[in-house]
């Protein structure tokens, strides 16, 4: 009898397909939902990561070029009038929006205080654009492991139910269910780790760029 059970277990283990696709197909609705959710979160996180890497590379280069041209110009007003209409650099947009407000202002009293407030507002506006989607990365980084753990717990519960129904404690009976469950945990970590690393990196890059904008604003104020 024991020999028959052992041979059956070996047969089940050898015939089981533990490929990722088969693990997904065999999983129940809840585990499948968790897996699809984590895959979608991971794909979107990587899309944000790639977009932000390109963005910081672009704005660091364009801001340096803008600053160099600005400090070589003879007049801030003339430089403003010669700016291209479709300029996209955050530092240039901060300068442009500030100059527009200043030139429209009829009152020149307390100009320094007004300009300081306008510059702060425009810097905040540009930084909000740069920091868009950071919340999603932070959310994925903090919740994905727990979502994956939920899928794991659910899958293990199903495996124990299989033991109870079949009354067979052989590992071959529960191995597929446990593998599906652990797959959910692996996906949770796979989604969370890049999101956390990227969030910390981009948050640091944002602070550095914000300091660059503030430094430019202080120097710009000094010549007004």
Question: Per-residue pLDDT for 66 more than 70?
Answer: yes
Provide the domain limits for residue 99: 18-223
pLDDT bracket for residue 6 (50, 70, 90): very low
- Angle formed by the axes of helices 90-104 and 29-72, to 10°? 60
- In a domain, residue 52? The reply is yes
- 123 within domain boundaries: yes
Name the pLDDT band for 116 (thresholds 50, 70, 90): confident
Can you count the helices (H) and strands (E) in the chain?
Answer: 8, 0
Averaged pLDDT, 7-12: 43
Q: How confident is the model at residue 5 (pLDDT cuts 50, 70, 90)?
A: very low
Look at residue 129 and tell me if it is in a domain. Answer: yes
Mean pLDDT of 112-124: 87
Spatial distance between the Cα atoms of 119 and 98, rounded to a whole number of angstroms: 6
Per-residue pLDDT tens for 125-153?
999 999 999 999 999 999 999 999 998 88
**pLDDT at site 176:** 66
Task: Average the pLDDT over each of 12-16, 18-22, 83-87 and give the range with the smallest value.
Answer: 12-16
Query: Is 128 a domain residue?
Result: yes
Residue of higher predicted confidence among 99 and 1:
99
| Least confident segment among 1-10, 30-39, 90-99, 192-201 | 1-10
Assigned domain for 6 exists: no
Residue 54 reports pLDDT greater than 90: yes
For the chain, percent helix, then strand, then coil, each to nearest 5? 85, 0, 15
61, pLDDT greater than 80: yes
Q: What's the whole-model pTM score?
A: 0.80
Task: Answer yes or no: is 12 within a domain.
Answer: no
Q: List phi, psi (to 5°) of 218.
A: -65, -45
CA distances from 135 to 48, 114, 139, 224 (A): 11, 32, 6, 37
Query: pLDDT tens digits, residue range 165-216?
Result: 766 666 666 666 677 778 888 999 999 999 999 999 999 999 999 999 999 9
pLDDT at residue 63 tops 70: yes
The pLDDT score that the predictor gives to residue 117 is: 87
Q: Pick from 189, 184, 190, 188: which is nearest to 159 by CA?
A: 184
Phi, psi of 107 (to 5 degrees): -90, 130
The pLDDT score that the predictor gives to residue 14 is 43
Sign of CA dihedral 134, 211, 54, 125: positive
Confidence label for 157 from pLDDT (cuts 50, 70 and 90): confident
Question: What's the chain's average pLDDT?
Answer: 83
In-domain check, residue 11: no
Number of domains in the chain: 1
Q: Is residue 7 included in any domain, yes or no?
A: no
- Give the pLDDT band (50/70/90) at residue 2: very low
């Amino acid at each position: 009898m024991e020999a028959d059970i052992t041979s059956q277990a070996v047969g089940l283990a050898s015939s089981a397909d533990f490929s990722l696709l088969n693990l997904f197909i065999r999983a129940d609705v809840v585990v499948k939902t968790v897996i699809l959710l984590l895959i979608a979160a991971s794909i979107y996180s990587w899309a944000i990561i790639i977009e932000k890497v390109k963005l910081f590379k672009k704005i660091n280069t364009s801001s340096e070029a803008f600053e160099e041209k600005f400090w070589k110009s003879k007049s801030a007003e003339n430089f403003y009038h010669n700016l291209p209409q479709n300029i996209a650099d955050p530092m240039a947009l901060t300068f442009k929006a500030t100059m527009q407000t200043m030139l429209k202002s009829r009152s020149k009293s307390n100009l320094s205080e007004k300009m300081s407030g306008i510059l702060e507002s425009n810097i905040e506006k540009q930084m909000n654009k740069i920091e868009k989607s950071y919340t999603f990365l932070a959310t994925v980084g903090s919740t994905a492991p727990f979502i994956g753990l939920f899928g794991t717990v659910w899958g293990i519960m199903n495996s124990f139910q299989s033991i109870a129904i079949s009354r067979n404690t052989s590992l071959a009976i529960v191995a597929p269910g446990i593998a599906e469950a652990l797959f959910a945990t692996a996906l949770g970590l796979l989604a969370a780790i890049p999101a956390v690393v990227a969030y910390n990196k981009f948050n640091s890059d944002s602070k550095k760029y914000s300091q660059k904008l503030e430094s430019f604003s202080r120097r710009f104020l000094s010549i007004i």
